[in-house]
Structure 1
Amino acid sequence: MAKQNIKPRVRVGKNLKKGDIFEVKTLVSHPMESGQRKDKDTGKMIPRLILNRLHVTYNGERVLNVKWDPGVSANPYTSFFVRADKSGPMTLIWTDDKGEKFEKTVQIEVSG
């Protein structure tokens, strides 16, 4: 099967000062097939294929690790808060049931 065309979107706070708490918002376009639904045309079960993990690092340190189950809806939205420490990369990696990874890195700019 060809690689899925999954493009995660990430929004982070702006004009951050050291010590600020900022929100990170993510949205991933993904069908999140639970494996419990039948194909309308063939009547066969659609195999499970979900994003089952989200791993987030900020300046190389883990800030969030999520494990999802089939109950999560399509196009999962995630929001969480992080303390602005210093400028650096925030890397988010989603992993699906097949082990395929979808990565997005954003630069966090902190002043002061």
Structure 2
Amino acid sequence: MADIKPKIRIPKDAKKGEVVEIKTLVPHPMESGQRKDSKGQIIPRKIINKMTVTFNGKPVFEAKLEPAISANPFISFFYKCSENGTMDFAWTDDDGSVYKASEQLTVS
């Protein structure tokens, strides 16, 4: 598969105690394993099955994804800001590939 580059939208600056929305989009075909190609052969399942997010090394969000999730999954969640730090994102594919990205969160 081509190099996957997740897109993340995180506020540039947040106030301490503010609840912000974190948005992610991952370009991925999310093949369910239930479709057939032009020759009638089943296309093997290949989905992102797990997404995890940590902030300064502590888990803050986790999602288990199933074949019914659309291609290029968009996932958002809310986070209550308390300190500056790094938010690390990881998406795990059926074949064991892990796509990673990090973003800084600045809290004033």
Same fold (TM over 0.5): yes
Q: How does 1:14-33 map to 2 (within 5 A)?
A: 14-33=12-31
Unaligned runs of 5+ in 2: none
Q: How many residues align?
A: 108
CA distance in 2, matches of 1:106, 1:15: 12
TM-score (norm 1): 0.93
- AA aligned to 1:26 is T
Tell me, yes or no, if structure 1 residue 88 matches structure 2 residue 85.
yes
- Tell me what 2:64 maps to: 67
- Tell me what 1:8 maps to: 6
Q: Does structure 1 retain, via aligned residues, the 8 Å contact 2:30–2:46?
A: yes
Q: How does 1:93-108 map to 2 (within 5 A)?
A: 93-108=90-105
Cα RMSD over matched residues?
Answer: 0.9
| Moved >6 Å (runs of 4+) | none
SS in 2 for 1:73: coil
Q: Does structure 1 retain, via aligned residues, the 8 Å contact 2:90–2:99?
A: yes
TM-score (norm 2): 0.96
CA shift for structure 1 position 4: 3.3
Unaligned runs of 5+ in 1: none
SS in 1 for 2:49: strand
Q: Percent identity?
A: 49
CA distance in 2, matches of 1:69, 1:8: 19
